[in-house]
């Protein structure tokens, strides 16, 4: 985690002052928003829905301003619903034991083991040291981004960015030493491109799998609970992987064009990367055990989907697998294997002390946000909001609603965290779709994918903040390139969701 802390150090005084003002404003506005909504008269709302609206007004204000830690805000919102008798405590806190919570826990423990045993570094340097890559900056940029996107599909975007950031900085340091020896200057725009590739590819790669980034799991939870559609790991990837491939190819094309190195090759870079790979040594027992546990988990995740393709979703075999091996159970089985398989020395592949260091905050944020979303439907608040918004939107069905949902989620994610964006936007678009009689699955998927975009600003995602700290990225260049990727992201997501959703619909 040192690399993350180091990357976040270069925050200017003006940025720090803006954050302080924003948080203080949030602490002042949240109780005002609660009071105004609570005291207002809404004849169309039931008392429980009215009180929930007041709670959600305060929660959304705190999420946007980040006046309190996001998980703390989610917990406070859930507790307030019990205090104000929106619903009984057992109903409010039921989402904290949702099966997808255990998908989070199991996959986070697996990701922790991958990080501890440096499987991610081994993969990165193995790919970068391939003879095909050699000493060509353009090929290094492509493979570096592809590896970043692939790793990010399985472990957190932020952890992936932190690891690849260190590798990218090492590559740039070698390049700049090499230019002094060769006497050929490297265009500094290449450094900008490599750093932006680190962040942008990590955010894009997280869309490939349900566990790639928390908004995916959040969206899946709302789709299952509120739409009544169960999307398997395999079905998610049927849309997520094409989205990632198309977005990554676009990302590489424009970064390679706008951020050239200015030289065709850099002598010695291939040898340097191969030395880094060799420095990792032979495979350790811990690495082999982690790979076994991870491979078993992936097999369990995709097995029901493969069986469905072969024998059909209505077959007894598929139905049995689907009931016995939901994604959360598969993740727990894989994580449990880490405590059984041998690690380095006398240890197991992971210890409980290490497993406890996963991001529990995201898990609590999911539980709290999911609780508020479910309650909004149970009390009728979501239906009322959906009907109210339909009169304001120019598009209320079909393609228009899908475009609007994806676009709104993208814009919201620029100003607040991706997880908060998914928690706020997905339930609303489902409510709007229901209020207009439209199919809610497509706009819900669009909003879920769109919540992971937001590339314009250092504050948009932790990934952006990490690479911005390198000093190689002028702010306006991040804004320009980020807007371009946001627009491409919306187009690709809308197109793929529109084309592929009919193929995965139950």
Task: Give DSSP secondary structure letters for 173-204.
Answer: HHHHHHHHHHT-PPPTHHHHHHHHHHHHHHHH
CB 222 within 8 A of CB 444: yes
With a cut of 90, say whether residue 496 has pLDDT above it: yes
CB 213 within 8 A of CB 453: no
- Residues 138-159, mean pLDDT to the nearest whole number: 87
Task: Print the domain residue range for 164.
Answer: 99-355
3-state SS assignment for residue 345: coil
Is residue 236 assigned to a domain? Answer: yes
What is the pLDDT, as a whole number, of residue 288?
A: 94
With a cut of 50, say whether residue 10 has pLDDT above it: no
Q: For residue 342, list its beta bridge partners.
A: 348
Is residue 474 assigned to a domain? Answer: no
What is the pLDDT, as a whole number, of residue 31?
A: 95
**What contacts 378, CB < 8 A, 6 or more positions away?**
87, 91
Q: How far apart are CA 33 and CA 76, in angstroms?
A: 15
Is residue 373 assigned to a domain? Answer: no
- Residues 350-369, mean pLDDT to the nearest whole number: 85
With a cut of 90, say whether residue 149 has pLDDT above it: yes
Here the tokens at position 215 are 């908004």
312 sits in the region (left: phi over 0; alpha: psi -120 to 50; else beta) called left
Q: pLDDT (tens digit, 9 = 90+) per residue, 103-140?
A: 778 888 887 888 888 887 787 777 777 777 766 888 88
- Residue 463: pLDDT band (50, 70, 90) is confident
Q: What is the Cα 17 distance to its own chain's centre?
A: 28
Is residue 303 assigned to a domain? Answer: yes
3-state SS assignment for residue 161: helix
With a cut of 60, say whether residue 312 has pLDDT above it: yes
Is residue 32 assigned to a domain? Answer: no
Q: pLDDT (tens digit, 9 = 90+) per residue, 14-59?
A: 667 877 888 899 999 999 999 999 999 888 889 999 999 999 899 9
Is residue 72 assigned to a domain? Answer: no
Which of 31-40, 230-239, 463-472 bottoms out in mean pLDDT, i.e. has the lowest?
Answer: 463-472
Is residue 477 assigned to a domain? Answer: no
What is the pLDDT, as a whole number, of residue 212?
A: 85
Give the number of domains in the chain: 1
- Residues 342-361, mean pLDDT to the nearest whole number: 89
- Residues 218-242, mean pLDDT to the nearest whole number: 89
What is the percent of the chain where pLDDT is above 70?
A: 90
With a cut of 50, say whether residue 218 has pLDDT above it: yes
Backbone φ, ψ for residue 284 (5° rounding): -90, 165
Here the tokens at position 459 are 């504050």
Q: What is the H or E stretch that residue 242 is in?
A: helix 233-258
What is the pLDDT, as a whole number, of residue 267?
A: 67
Residue spans of alpha helices (H) in 67-156: 70-83, 89-92, 99-116, 119-128, 137-152
With a cut of 80, say whether residue 237 has pLDDT above it: yes
Here the tokens at position 497 are 């969701």
Q: How far apart are CA 225 and CA 426, in angstroms?
A: 12
Q: Which residue has the tokens 């980034």?
A: 213
| 448 or 133: which leads in pLDDT | 448
Going by C-alpha positions, the residue among 194, 188, 97 that lies closest to residue 147 is 194
What is the pLDDT, as a whole number, of residue 269?
A: 62
Going by C-alpha positions, the residue among 487, 431, 478, 442 that lies closest to residue 459 is 478
Is residue 362 assigned to a domain? Answer: no
């Amino acid at each position: 985690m040192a690399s993350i802390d180091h990357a976040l150090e270069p925050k200017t005084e003006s940025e720090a002052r803006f954050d302080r003002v924003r948080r203080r404003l949030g602490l002042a506005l949240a109780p005002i928003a609660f009071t105004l909504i609570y005291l207002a008269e809404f004849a169309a709302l039931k008392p429980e829905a009215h009180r929930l609206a007041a709670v959600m007004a305060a929660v959304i204000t705190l999420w946007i301003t980040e006046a309190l830690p996001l998980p703390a805000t989610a917990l406070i919102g859930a507790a307030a619903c019990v205090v104000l008798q929106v619903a009984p405590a057992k109903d409010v806190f039921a989402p904290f034991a949702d099966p997808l919570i255990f998908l989070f826990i199991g996959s986070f423990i697996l990701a922790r083991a991958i990080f501890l045993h440096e499987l991610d570094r081994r993969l990165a340097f193995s790919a970068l040291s391939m003879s095909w890559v050699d000493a060509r900056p353009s090929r290094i940029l492509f493979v570096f981004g592809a590896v970043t996107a692939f790793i990010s599909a399985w472990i957190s975007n932020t952890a992936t960015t932190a690891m690849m950031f260190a590798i990218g900085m090492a590559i740039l340091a070698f390049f700049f030493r090499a230019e002094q020896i060769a006497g050929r200057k490297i265009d500094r725009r290449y450094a900008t491109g490599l750093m932006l590739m680190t962040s942008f590819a990590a955010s894009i790669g997280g869309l490939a799998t349900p566990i790639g980034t928390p908004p995916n799991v959040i969206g899946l939870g709302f789709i299952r609970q509120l739409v009544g559609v169960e999307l398997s790991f395999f079905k998610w990837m049927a849309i997520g992987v094409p989205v990632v491939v198309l977005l990554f190819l676009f990302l590489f094309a424009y970064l390679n064009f706008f951020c050239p190195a200015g030289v065709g090759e850099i002598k010695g870079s291939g040898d340097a990367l191969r030395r880094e790979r060799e420095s990792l040594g032979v495979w350790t027992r811990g690495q082999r055990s982690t790979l076994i546990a991870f491979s078993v988990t992936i097999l369990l995740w995709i097995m029901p989907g493969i069986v469905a393709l072969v024998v059909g979703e209505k077959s007894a075999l598929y139905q049995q697998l689907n009931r016995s091996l939901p994604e959360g159970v598969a993740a727990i089985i894989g994580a449990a294997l880490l405590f059984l398989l041998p690690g380095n020395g006398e240890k197991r592949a992971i210890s409980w002390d290490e497993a406890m260091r996963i991001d529990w905050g995201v898990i609590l944020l999911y539980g709290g946000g999911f609780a508020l979303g479910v309650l909004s439907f149970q009390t009728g608040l979501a239906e009322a909001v959906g009907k109210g918004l339909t009169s304001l939107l120019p598009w209320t069905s079909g393609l228009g609603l899908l475009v609007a949902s994806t676009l709104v989620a993208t814009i919201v994610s620029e100003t607040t965290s991706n997880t908060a964006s998914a928690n706020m936007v997905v339930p609303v678009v489902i409510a709007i779709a229901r209020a207009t009689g439209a199919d809610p699955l497509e706009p819900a998927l669009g909003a879920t994918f769109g919540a992971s975009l937001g590339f314009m600003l250092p504050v948009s995602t932790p990934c952006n903040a990490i690479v911005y700290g390198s000093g190689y990225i002028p702010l306006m260049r991040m804004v320009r390139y980020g807007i371009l990727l946001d627009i491409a992201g919306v187009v690709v997501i809308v197109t793929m969701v529109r084309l592929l959703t009919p193929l995965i619909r139950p």
